[in-house]
Structure 1
Amino acid sequence: MDRREVAAVLAYIGRLDPRTVRTGTGDARDQIARWQDLLGNVAFATDHGWDVREAIRSHVLDSPYPILPVDVARRWRAHRRDRLDRHTDPTPATDPDDPAAWRAELLRSRIAVAAGMAAPATHRQITSGSQPRDVEECLREIGSCIPPAVRAELARYRPTRAAREATVAEGVPDALSVRCDWCHAPVSSPCRQRRASPDGAARANAARTTPHPSRVDLAAARRSRHRAA
């Protein structure tokens, strides 16, 4: 703010809090000089969320003490920090092989955001909304986000899932869609083959390649109920 803006700020403060009014010409001149020392880099108002009058009103309402120039300067610095914390540097349009121009464009963008001349830029992937149309059409075409060729390559690294998908493709009930009442395996987990020693203690708890028959029957019964409904 320049001297005229600082004088306007002090006049506004005087209307809200008469304790700050200086009646003498010399006192008023000194007060303007002191305030400008701290408010020289503070904007009077910006297009994006800052108005010094709002900061003054907030202080008068929240504090019983007369406002000082440092109170306004601190609010302005907090406002700048908040804007920069919400800002994500957009990719510069300059040549990335020119580091000096790249850094200069990033710096200009940050200065504009901090000064209130531009709004903070956020991640487009988070704020842009729904997926592009071409992605949705591709998913409908292949039926999954994993292409068939890639799924075939992954089958040998995850045999349980591959067997489950093959079972569902053949129209057989998915046994892993229900909890096993025999070995208590949770949904989506393979059944366990428990072996006991002669004294009754468990010796092994290996995963089965096929689910327990009772689990298959339970999945078939559940599928029948869903079809009847």
Structure 2
Amino acid sequence: MDRREIAAALAYIGRLDSRTPLADPDEVRDRVAQWQELLSDVPLVVGQDWDVRGVIREHVLASPYPILPVDIARAWHAFSRERLRRHTDPTPAADPDDPAAWRAELLARRRAVATGQAAPSSHRQLTGGGPHPDVAARLAAIGSYIPPDVRAELAPYRPARAAREAAVSAGRADALSVRCEWCHAAEGELCRSRRVGLDGHARGNAPRVTPHPSRVDLAARMTASRTTEAA
């Protein structure tokens, strides 16, 4: 704020708070000079987000003490930190091979955001409008987010997933879509090798690539039942 804006802020404080009367002209000049020295980097108004008069009014209503320059400075710094917290640095237009220009553009952008001269640039957010048209077109062309050749290369590293996809492609029931009654594997989880010891307790808990036959039969029955109901 410049001297004129500081004088306006002090006059506003005098109207709201009778504890800070200033009648002597010399005292008024000294007070304006003091506040201008301390608040020279604090703007009076920044768009609709920042207004020193709002800070003064809130302080008078909430605090039993007269407002000081530090109260306004703290509010401004909190405002700047909040704007920077919501800001994500966009890629600078400067040449990446010129570190000085790259850094200067980043700092200038952050300074503009912190002082209210530019709006924060936030992360792009997911929306509920479905995939981008380009993604939808590619998905319609290949039938999956993973191309067939990539899926084939990944098959040796995820045999259970590959077996599940092969069963669905062949028109068979997805065994992992139901709970296994033998090993109690939850829906979507692999079956576990469960051996019973001489004491009657289960032994072993290693995951199985292939589901238990009883689970396959149960999935087939459930699929047949749903097909019948749909018909």
State the TM-score, normalized to the length of structure 1.
0.92
Which range is displaced more, 81-90 or 201-210? Answer: 201-210
Q: Which residue in the other structure is 2:43 paired with?
A: 43
Q: Which residue in the other structure is 2:152 paired with?
A: 152
Q: Which residue in the other structure is 1:26 paired with?
A: 26
| Cα distance in 2, alignment partners of residues 209 and 70 from structure 1 | 67
RMSD: 1.8
Matches within 5 A, 1:81-96: 81-96=81-96
| CA shift for structure 1 position 128 | 7.2
The answer to whether 1:178 aligns with 2:178 is yes
What are the superposed Cα offsets for residues 149-172 of structure 1, whole Å, 9 maximum, x if unpaired?
100000011111101100011111
1:121/1:139 CA distance change after superposition, 3 Å: same
| CA shift for structure 1 position 202 | 3.9
Amino acid at match of 1:142: I
Q: Which residue in the other structure is 2:77 paired with?
A: 77
The answer to whether 1:143 aligns with 2:143 is yes
1:23/1:129 CA distance change after superposition, 3 Å: farther
Structure 1 runs of 4+ with >6 Å offset:
none
Amino acid at match of 1:196: V
% identical aligned pairs: 62
| Cα distance in 1, alignment partners of residues 30 and 66 from structure 2 | 17
1:123/1:208 CA distance change after superposition, 3 Å: closer
Matches within 5 A, 1:1-229: 1-47=1-47, 49-124=49-124, 126=125, 130=129, 131-227=131-227, 228-229=229-230
Question: Tell me, which stretches of 5 or more residues in structure 1 are unaligned?
Answer: none
What are the superposed Cα offsets for residues 53-95 of structure 1, whole Å, 9 maximum, x if unpaired?
1111111121122111111111011111111111111111011
Contact 1:48/1:117 (<8 A) preserved: no
